[in-house]
Structure 1
Amino acid sequence: MASTLPKTMRGQFLEAFKKPYTLRTVPLPKPAGPHDILVKVEAASYCHTDYVLAEGQMAPLPNSFPHIGCHEFAGTIVSHSDSPSSQAREFKSGDRVGVPGRAYHACGTCFECQGNKDPVAADDKGYSVHCLHAENNGLSKDGGFAEYCVVDARQLAPMPAVLTATETAPLMCAGITIYAALKRCRLERGDRVGIMGAGGGLGHLGLQYAVKMGYRVLGVDAADAPLKLAESLNTGAKLIDARSTKAADVVQQLGAEDGKQETGESGLDAVIILPESQQAFDYAMTLLKTHGKCVVVSFPEKGFHISARDVVFRDISIIGSLVGSNRMLREMLNFSAEHDIRAVTKSFPLAKLNDLVEEYHKGGGGKLVVDLALES
């Protein structure tokens, strides 16, 4: 297949912070290292982190301009390097794969690669998504807003046959991120979990995962379109409009449902914070039972104010969660396929990426995806 490859490709480039993307034609990248694989991109999903990166809020990333963004994409393998590693040889030309952002060219020798024992983040010894020296597709190196991309074989996850590329791409960041966050809650079937930002890209997937995991799910949002999207999923999760319902009233309602008399034993066992909003964080903390877990996924530029009283007197655990291991990535994909979990998406051609960004700012919820099969 490699002999039939074109010599050039189109890609959408950031050329400066706070500027629109520019569609350019550039030479086709080539796999050079033993783990390198060239993927023909079929779908590339837009993430909030793409916006943060383009605004300059992750400086010094990207390392240089012009830069191709996107760290959640899917496609078909078209070529390997001249001396492929054993991990690269596990994939054949024509295989359909999902590609997450982390971790490209993990070093294999740092303490993360050699000894990470976190059940959510740990892979086989010699590779870690938290490698101290790895690059990241779409952040520190070029990503998926292009017709082709060089990736690391150790990142890849085989695409289940029932999933399309446009269905798989959003799962490569949004899917694995919320799936891993749910795992970090350490819940048992029947426990209560809340998802703040339930109609957003991660949140609406989280509603589906959490219900299928057997939890009692509370979805919270504060905007009309995301709430409507969350309701359209018909998951059976209880949905709350934070603009019109006080957190303390929700706790009282849940306590009554569970037959609890004390405030400390009423509410949620865990909550996941997705919005970059102090109001959302405070609302979520009020929803938690004593000894509850608050899993933080979002990273607002100015951080969150945390009440020491909650942490000390109510014994609330605050846990950060980034992504899951490659092993968990594959588990999540198979779980999605088995339980028919899909992102609600709207697709755009590659040439219309700036239109996609405009749509993103409307805050309609769900996920926006570049579908490279669409005509420009």
Structure 2
Amino acid sequence: MASEQLPSTMKAFVLEQFGQPYQLREVPLPEIEHQDDILIRVEAGSYCHTDAVVAAGTMHPPSLPHIGCHEYAGTVVALPQGKSSIYGLIVGTQVAVSGRGYHVCEKCQECRNPSGPVPDEPGFSVYCPWTHGGLGVHGPGGFREYAVVDSKQVLPIPGSMTAVEVAPLMCAGLTIFAALKKCNLKPGQRVGFIGCGGGLGHLGLQFATKMGLKAVGVDSSPGALQFARDLGTGAYIVNAAETKAEDVRQQLGQEDKAEHISEMGLDAVLILTDSQQSFTYGVDLLRNGGLAIVVSFPPEGFQVSAADLVFRRIRLEGTLIGSNKAMKEMLEFCVEHGVKARVKTYSFLRLNQLVEAYHSGVSGKLVVDFQKND
């Protein structure tokens, strides 16, 4: 194994009980056991909504103890024994780690024929039913000093970006970018983000406007609405607590010189929040024939109006995180257009304070910066 001098143990934040704070523990350094694996020194780990539901034990509860974080970044410090490079990665390469499948089977229908607007290369699919699951969700993730990751699911970080900037893009950014691609919209068309003041939403507003789309952001809390406005994207921001969806449709219809209410509204809407009220509001914003992309996954699901599907021809589709191709395209897009997550950083030892801030409703993305000392 080609590597730098490595310790035998490391610090990790471990979830030992669902619904309880992470515990700082000294644990053995993980070993490379698979030909596609690499060992990285973690430099930044971003906290995501999925981390919150995993920690609460409400979504595919992992075995405990568990190390969370499925969007992170770091530097390669070791490769499989006998290899000096793997998929173009060498010791010292700074990489972004996405919340995608770990050790997919490479042989199933999904892997042989990946689908989506920007599909994976044959042999890898985020929808593989035989995957070992996502690191940080089913297996150990990035809230530790070193992590073993699948070299097939990482990409080198562009030289102009930092680990702290890239980490929030590895789930939130990649998911919303892929969702926008799935909408297949042309410049000038309208797209809405239900939950625009959150991690995915504020990135979606930036991506959409830089793609030439007319973005509409919807939220209800004053802080989230102000956060969305402060991005300066020029998106139309709607307070759902004060404005009816029908009124928004009519106002936009007047701007578009639409002649009938059926022609007024958004071409697509992305549902980023968990409440039925938000889902209904988003669907009500669509013009007839519009597309609703469901990104969130509340345990109780959503109730769908048959009348919307039958008489208004509303289309409904779900989406998961994007492919490696989409990740590369997204990173290049971010560099070209200056798209960045708005982040607040915490030192590694302050992870539980970060989690408290998340649950208090702090806007933007909250990121552990392993280089930060405070």
Return the TM-score normalized by structure 2: 0.97
Conserved? CA contact 1:34–1:84, under 8 Å: no
Partner deviation per Cα, 1:175-208 (whole Å, 9 max, x = no partner): 0000011111111110000011111000000000
- Alignment partners' CA distance in 2, 1:131 and 1:303: 23
- Alignment partners' CA distance in 2, 1:160 and 1:338: 11
Partner deviation per Cα, 1:257-292 (whole Å, 9 max, x = no partner): 011120000010000000101111111111100000
Mapping for residues 1-376 of structure 1, pairs under 5 Å: 2-59=3-60, 61-62=61-62, 64-84=63-83, 88-120=86-118, 122-134=119-131, 135-375=133-373
- Alignment partners' CA distance in 2, 1:366 and 1:38: 29
Matched position secondary structure for 1:20: coil
Matched position secondary structure for 2:316: strand
Identity among equivalent positions (%) equals 51
Conserved? CA contact 2:117–2:181, under 8 Å: no
Residue 226 of structure 1 aligns with an amino acid whose one-letter code is A
Residue 148 of structure 1 aligns with an amino acid whose one-letter code is Y
Structure 1 stretches (4+) deviating beyond 4 angstroms?
A: 83-86
| Structure 1 residues 3 and 167, CA gap change in structure 2 (3 angstroms) | closer
Matched position secondary structure for 1:12: strand
Matched position secondary structure for 1:93: coil
Matched position secondary structure for 1:335: helix
Deviation at 1:65, TM superposition (A): 1.3
Conserved? CA contact 1:35–1:84, under 8 Å: no
Residue 31 of structure 2 aligns with an amino acid whose one-letter code is K
Unaligned segments of structure 1, at least 5 residues: none
- Alignment partners' CA distance in 1, 2:84 and 2:277: 49
- Alignment partners' CA distance in 2, 1:183 and 1:34: 33
- Alignment partners' CA distance in 1, 2:360 and 2:67: 23
Deviation at 1:84, TM superposition (A): 4.7
Conserved? CA contact 2:116–2:182, under 8 Å: no
- Alignment partners' CA distance in 2, 1:254 and 1:5: 59
Partner deviation per Cα, 1:7-42 (whole Å, 9 max, x = no partner): 111110000111110011111112121100001110
Deviation at 1:374, TM superposition (A): 1.2
Deviation at 1:226, TM superposition (A): 1.1
Let me know the Cα RMSD of the aligned residues: 1.3
Matched position secondary structure for 1:177: helix
Deviation at 1:117, TM superposition (A): 3.3
Return the TM-score normalized by structure 1: 0.97
Unaligned segments of structure 2, at least 5 residues: none
- Alignment partners' CA distance in 1, 2:270 and 2:83: 40
Matched position secondary structure for 1:228: helix
- Alignment partners' CA distance in 2, 1:186 and 1:18: 39
Matched position secondary structure for 1:346: strand
Deviation at 1:248, TM superposition (A): 0.7
